[in-house]
Structure 1
Amino acid sequence: MLQLKRNDLLIGFTISVLLSIFVNFALLMRKYEFETGNPGMGIQPPDRTMYYLLIWFFVFSFILFIVNSLMYKLGDKLFRRKEYKRVLVVCVTCISIAYGMFHLSPVLYTAIVVEWIPNSFMTEHLLVFLTVMLSSILIRLLGSKQQMKLEYEQLKTEKLQNSYNALMGQINPHFFFNSLNEFIISRNAIKDIDLWFGSRLSVNLTLPVPERIIISKTKTPIFKKWILREEE
C-alpha cells in the first residue's frame, strides 16, 4: 500500500501555501490598495473571488504534489532501476490531472463566484505545475543524497565493527583484556590499579593514553580473575 510520510505532507502543504500566495500576489496587493484607500488602476476584486483563487491554487498544487510523490513510489515498485520509466509515469499522471483540473476550475468558479469573471489563469496554472514538478525532483535528489550518506556511514560502521571482531578473535584472552571504553589491555602494560567510583576499577598503564581506562562493575570480577591468572 502506497503511503506518504508526515514529513512529505508537511512539505507539500508548505509549498502549496507559498505557491497560492505567490500566484495571487497581484490580486492580494490590489485588494490591499482598495482596503487602505489608495486604489490604483483596475477593478476591486470581490472577496469571494480572492478566497476562491487562494483556495483553488492551494488545492491544485497540493494535489499535484501528493500525486507526484505517490506515482513516483508506485513507479519505484513497478520499474526498479529504471528511472526514466518512473519519471514517465509521474509526468503522464501529473499532466493528465493538471489538465483536468485546469478545465474544472472555470466550472467550479462559475458555480461559486458570480460577481467577477476572470481569465482562465493559464499562466498561473502552468507556473504552479512547473514549480511543483521541479521542487519534487529537487526534494527527491536531496533525499537520495541523504540516504546514500546514511548508507555509507552504516557500511563504514559495520566494516569497523567487523574488523574489530576479527581482531578480538585473533587476540589470546590469556594476555589481553577488553576494558569498558574498548581499550585492549596487555598485562605487561599495566602499571597499577586504583578503586574507582561505583565499584569500578581504574587501570594505569606504563604508556600514555588519551583517556582514563575504566573497568566496569560487571567486568571487575572477570578482570580480577584475569589478573590473578596472569600472576600465577
Structure 2
Amino acid sequence: MSTARFTNRFAGKVLVVTGAAQGIGRAVAQRAAEEGGKVVFVDRASFVAEVAADVKGAHTAAFSADLETHEGAAAAMRFARDTFGGIDILINNVGGAIRMRPYPEFAPEQIDAEIRRSLMPTLYCCHAVLPYLFERGGGTIVNVSSNATRGIHRVPYSAAKGGVNAITQSLAMELAERNIRVVATAPGGTQAPPRRIPRNADGDTAAEQGWMADVVEQVKQSSFMKRYGAIDEQAAPILFLASDEASYITGSVLPVAGGDLG
C-alpha cells in the first residue's frame, strides 16, 4: 500500500468535509489540510473540534451540526464561507449502516432511520453548498457512496447509497455548465479504528452480531482481493477526485472495493 503524499495539492482551496470526526472522513480532512487546504471539519460529534485541532500548522476549523436536517447543512456551509471566505470543494462523507439484518427483520422506523442517515445528509449538503460554489464560479462535490448497493442484510442502506449515486450522476449533468464537477467513490469494507460513537446506539443483539458476521464474510468473498481496505486506501481516491488532477472527471462513481463493483 502506497503512503505517498502530495505537497500543497489543495493550496488556495477551501474544503468542507462532513463526517470528519472519525473514520474515512477524519483521514480525508486531515490529509487535505496537510496538503495545503483550508478545511472545515463538520460532524455532529462535539469532539470534532479536537480532531480539527490535531492538524498542526494547518488552517482548520470545526463545526458541529446535524446534517440529517437541511438547517444543519445550511449552517455548516454558512460557517465555512464566513470562516474562510468561500467554499471550493465539498466532500460528503456522512453515512453508514446502523443495523445489519435481513430485510423482513427491519421495523418501518428503522428503514426510515437508515435513509435519513445515509441519503439525506448528502442530498441536503449538495443543495446547501450550491450558492457558495456559484459565488466561486465553480467547484467540486465528492460524494462518498458505497459498493453495498449490492450486498446482504443492508437493504435500506443499499437504497440510500443508490440514491447517492443518482444524485452524483444527475447533479453532474445539471451543473457541468456551471463549472461544477460532481463525482463519487463507492468504498467497500474498510478497516477502521474503534468508533467513539457507535453506529448503533442501542447495541447489537446476538442475532445482529451473527448477521454482521455474515456481512463481513460476504464483503470479503465479493472482493477479488479477499480483504477489507485500509482507511488510507479510501482517502486517497476521494482526494484525487477532489483535486484538479481529476478535472475531466464528472458524473462518475469510482468503486474502491478490491474489484467488487457492487
- Same fold at TM > 0.5: no
Q: TM-score scaled to structure 1, two decimals? A: 0.27
Larger Rg: 1
Q: Indicate the structure whose relative CO is greater, using CA pairs within 8 Å and at least 6 residues apart.
A: 2
Q: TM-score scaled to structure 2, two decimals? A: 0.25
